[in-house]
Amino acid sequence: MKLASIRSEYNGESIEALPADPHIGAEIWLEHALKVEAEATAFSLATADSAGRLSVRVVLAKAIDARGVTFYTNGNSLKGLQLESQPVAAGVFFWPRQHRQIRFEGRTTRVTDAEADEYFASRPHASQVAAAVSNQSSELAHYTELQARFEKALADFAGLPVPRPPHWGGYTIAFERVEFWQGQPSRLHQRILFERQKDGSYKRSWLEP
């Protein structure tokens, strides 16, 4: 399949007026994306094992603040195990309708048990049950096996609160490097990079497209 002839034209607003703090800029862009994008909170998450082998998947952000981007997962999953051994990650939000991306990299930390409990309790009951019965990333003989386990757990927890599994929690990716990308005509895209300094401030740089 040849794809060379497939191309889109970009025409975005200037990003020169981005705030000095990248998490504020990220919140503003996400607010705009929530109005026009189908899955605005989805981002690609890249992790690595101790041998440097990379893995990438799409997850959903559940918070953006001064700490960085927070998401939740099963700690026994591939990404959870990789983050425990190599607590660094990279991610990218891509919002095609606005021709925008935000790339970010940084160290990862686990959220507190209180934060994980609060978010887990906010999930729909069936989603809580699914998290409790899934051995994420483990091999499965057949999908029907998981369905049966889920249906049994639904019956067992009918009308009852579902406790958060101890291995289920959240991770926050620190905003150590954050790049805002805005598509522009003639491929003269605008890119601004924020790099966190030792004093907590950010160095801001324009990058060539």
Query: What does each of the 209 residues of the chain score in pLDDT, given as a tens digit?
Result: 999 999 889 999 999 999 999 999 999 999 999 999 999 999 999 999 999 999 999 999 999 999 999 999 999 999 999 999 999 999 999 999 999 999 999 999 999 999 999 999 999 999 999 999 999 889 999 999 999 999 999 999 999 999 999 999 999 999 999 999 999 999 999 999 999 999 999 999 999 99
> Which 3 state secondary structure label does DSSP give 200?
coil
Query: Which pLDDT score, from 0 to 100, does residue 58 have?
Result: 99
Query: Which pLDDT score, from 0 to 100, does residue 61 have?
Result: 99
Helices vs. strands in the chain: H and E counts, helices first? 5, 10
Answer for the pair 194, 178: CB distance below 8 angstroms, yes or no.
yes
Q: Tell whether residue 204 is among the known ligand binding residues.
A: no
Q: Tell me, yes or no, whether 127 lies in a domain.
A: no
Q: What letter does residue 69 receive in the DSSP assignment?
A: E
Q: Tell me, yes or no, whether 12 lies in a domain.
A: no
Alpha carbon distance 173, 176 (integer Å): 9
Q: Tell whether residue 60 is among the known ligand binding residues.
A: yes
Interhelix angle 143-156/125-133, rounded to 10 degrees, is 120
Q: Tell whether residue 188 is among the known ligand binding residues.
A: yes
Query: Which pLDDT score, from 0 to 100, does residue 92 have?
Result: 99
Amino acid at site 109 = T
Angle at 125 between CA 157 and CA 141, to 5 degrees: 75
Q: How many domains does the chain have?
A: 1
Characterize the bridge pairing of strands 202-207 and 168-174.
unpaired
Q: Which residues contact 5 (CB under 8 A, 6 or more apart)?
A: none
Q: Tell me, yes or no, whether 89 lies in a domain.
A: yes
Farthest-apart Cα atoms in the chain, separation: 59
The residue written with tokens 């991306």 in the block is 101
Enclosing domain of residue 45: 22-122+166-207
Alpha carbon distance 65, 86 (integer Å): 23
Q: Tell me, yes or no, whether 75 lies in a domain.
A: yes
Q: Which amino acids are annotated catalytic?
A: 187
Q: Tell me, yes or no, whether 94 lies in a domain.
A: yes
Q: Tell me, yes or no, whether 137 lies in a domain.
A: no
Q: Tell me, yes or no, whether 3 lies in a domain.
A: no
Q: Tell whether residue 37 is among the known ligand binding residues.
A: no
Amino acid at site 156 = D
Query: Which pLDDT score, from 0 to 100, does residue 137 have?
Result: 86
CATH assignment at residue 34: 2.30.110.10
Q: Tell whether residue 191 is among the known ligand binding residues.
A: yes
Q: Tell whether residue 61 is among the known ligand binding residues.
A: yes
Q: Tell me, yes or no, whether 147 lies in a domain.
A: no
